[in-house]
Amino acid sequence: MRVGIGYDVHRLVNGEKLILGGVNIDHALGLKGHSDADVLVHAIMDAILGAIGAGDIGKHFPDSDSTYKDISSLRLLKKVQELLLEQDYEVNNLDATIIAQEPKLAPYLAQMKEKIANVLNISIIRINLKATTTEGLGFTGNKEGIAVQAIVSVE
């Protein structure tokens, strides 16, 4: 068994969509990024890549490459899944925490889990997603951005 940790942050801005775990969330602000800025999926990808010793998402999907401009992060996760399978691993357990003052994300977590499980081709029971606020503290508390921490074990 191997373990990897992922962390990602994206800025909240006007005029962008808010996509987390492949789910489009109705909110006045969205996340800024080269791809669809799905901070949850980015942290998960980094955790998986870390677990298999394959670097990080910047190495595999650089923001200097126009191929990845506005791409769905679920498509990138599928590519990471293929790397995982090439090394004869599968995700055993995935746990992630979304850190955002708003919007409230509890109503979306089940749908996020389903989309991620489908891409990774694993049972939904191997995925745990949580959302928390920072009680108004820091950049997430000031509604300037959203952060995610993820840990993945692979076998």
CATH code, domain carrying 141: 3.30.1330.50
Q: Which helix (H) or strand (E) holds 49?
A: helix 39-51
Tell me, what's the pLDDT at 70? 87
Q: How confident is the model at residue 119 (pLDDT cuts 50, 70, 90)?
A: very high
Q: CA nearest 143: which of 22, 1, 27, 15?
A: 27
Extract the runs of DSSP E, i.e. beta strands, from 72-136: 91-99, 127-132
Q: How far apart are CA 149 and CA 62, in angstroms?
A: 20
What residues are designated binding site? 8-10, 34-35, 42, 56-58, 61-65, 132-135, 139
- Cβ atoms of 22 and 116 closer than 8 Å: yes
Tell me, what's the pLDDT at 65? 87
- Cβ atoms of 30 and 12 closer than 8 Å: yes
**Beta-strand relationship, 2-13 and 30-31:** antiparallel
What residues are designated binding site for a divalent metal cation? 8, 10, 42
Tell me, what's the pLDDT at 28? 95
28: DSSP letter: S
Q: Burial, 14: exposed, middle or buried (Cβ in 10 Å; 0-12, 13-18, 19+)?
A: exposed
pLDDT tens-digit readout, 56-91: 999 999 889 898 898 999 999 999 999 999 999 999
Q: Identify the bridge partners of residue 43 per DSSP, sorted by sequence position.
A: none
What's this model's pTM, rounded to 2 decimal places? 0.96
Q: Give the domain range for residue 36.
A: 2-154
Query: How many structural domains does the chain have?
Result: 1
Extract the tokens encoding 109.
Answer: 């977590």
Q: How far apart are CA 53 and CA 114, in angstroms?
A: 26
